[in-house]
């Protein structure tokens, strides 16, 4: 075999075609949690649990995971972030075609809010790499909620609908919804529900009965935690007959 033939054979043996045509990195799947998940963290359950898998016909050589607070996309320089986990699967020149990792990361002491996780895996064929982004939020505390209007003890009109203005915030996963009840919080349908700020909930005038009348609001965050606030008001039949209304 002449020199040119040898060079051609060597070129083929080390080509992607000879290696099964593997030109891309492993296929990566974030199995759990789902994209955008809000994770409830407390002393009894301080870990964020994730499941990630990767597969490649030439074998999965290694994998690594990074994490940073905030929302980041594919343009981020994630290799400069703190590394959470890493593993090499290659042994004696071979590696499994698929891997699946179930991992727990302790999150107590971290700030509430959104985090970006990036998984990167490399294959055996040409050390091709792929990465996949996952965005999750962690939540430690219940939301803050208060009734801005009407004030406690205010006189309200029974001949018009009552608008209840609510302030609600959650630094962890954000507010899922604010509910309004009269006199007590029950399992029945609330009088009104709002899912976005500003939270302005309306009590139909037909329901403005009783003296005093308790207005109760409940704020629920995306982690499922809730807080409530209440004020009592005095509905009167006709405000025009009573002069200026106290707010």
pLDDT, tens digit (0-9, with 9 covering 90-100), for 217-234: 999 999 999 999 999 999
Residue 4 has what pLDDT? Answer: 44
Question: How much is the average pLDDT of 115-126?
Answer: 95
Q: How far does Cα 67 stand from its chain's mean position?
A: 14
**Phi-psi group of 129: left, alpha or beta (phi > 0 → left; psi -120 to 50 → alpha; rest → beta):** beta
Q: Which residues contact 122 (CB under 8 A, 6 or more apart)?
A: 25, 26, 60, 61, 62, 63, 128, 129
3 or 126: whose pLDDT is higher? 126
167-187 pLDDT, tens digit per residue, is: 999 999 999 999 999 999 887
**Which contiguous run of DSSP H or E holds residue 92?**
none
Dihedral sign, Cα of residue 201, residue 195, residue 112, residue 142: positive
Distance CA 213, CA 182 (A): 7
Query: In this predicted model, what pLDDT tens digit does every residue of 110-119 receive, in sequence order?
Result: 999 999 999 9
Rounded CA separation 60/57 (Å): 8
Alpha-carbon gap, residue 135 to 119, rounded angstroms: 12
pLDDT at 129 over 70: yes
pLDDT in tens, 103-112: 999 998 899 9
User: What local confidence, expressed as pLDDT, does residue 125 receive?
Assistant: 87
- Per DSSP, 14 falls in state T
What is the torsion angle, in degrees rounded to the nearest 10, for the CA atoms of residue 149, residue 150, residue 152 and residue 158? -160
Question: 224: cis peptide before it, omega within 30°?
Answer: no
Longest dimension (CA), the chain: 112
- pLDDT computed for residue 15 by the predictor: 44
pLDDT digits (tens, 9 = 90+) for 62-95: 999 999 999 999 999 999 999 999 999 999 989 9
Non-local CB neighbours of 46 within 8 Å, separated by 6+ positions: 106, 107, 108
Q: Read off the pTM.
A: 0.74
User: Tens digits of per-residue pLDDT, 6-54?
Assistant: 444 444 344 443 445 667 899 999 999 999 999 999 888 899 999 999 9
Cα distance between residue 240 and residue 188, in whole Å: 34
Give one DSSP letter per residue of 87-120, joined into a string.
EE--BTTB--SEEEEEEEEE-TTSPSEEEEEEEE
Average pLDDT for the chain: 88
pLDDT in tens, 182-227: 999 887 789 999 999 999 999 999 999 888 999 999 999 999 999 9
């Amino acid at each position: 075999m002449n020199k040119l033939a040898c060079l051609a054979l060597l070129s083929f043996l080390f080509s992607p075609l000879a290696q099964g045509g593997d030109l891309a990195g492993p296929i990566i799947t974030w199995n759990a949690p789902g994209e955008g998940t809000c994770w409830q963290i407390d002393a009894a359950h301080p870990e964020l649990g994730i499941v990630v898998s990767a597969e490649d016909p030439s074998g999965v050589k290694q994998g690594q995971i990074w994490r940073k607070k905030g929302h980041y996309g594919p343009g981020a320089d994630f290799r400069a972030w703190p590394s959470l986990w890493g593993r090499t699967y290659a042994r004696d020149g071979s590696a499994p075609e698929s891997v699946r990792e179930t991992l727990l990361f302790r999150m107590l002491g971290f700030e509430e809010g959104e985090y970006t996780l990036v998984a990167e895996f490399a294959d055996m064929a040409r050390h091709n790499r792929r990465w996949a982004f996952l965005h999750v939020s962690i939540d430690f505390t219940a939301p803050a909620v208060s009734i801005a209007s009407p004030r406690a003890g205010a006189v309200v009109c029974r001949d018009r609908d009552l608008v209840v203005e609510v302030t609600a915030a959650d630094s962890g996963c954000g507010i899922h919804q604010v509910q309004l009840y009269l006199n007590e919080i029950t399992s029945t349908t609330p009088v009104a529900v709002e899912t976005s700020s500003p939270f302005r909930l309306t009590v139909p005038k037909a329901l403005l009965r009783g003296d005093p009348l308790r207005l109760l609001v409940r704020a629920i965050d995306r982690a499922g935690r809730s807080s409530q606030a209440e004020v009592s008001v005095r509905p009167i039949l006709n405000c025009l007959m009573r002069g200026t209304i106290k707010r």
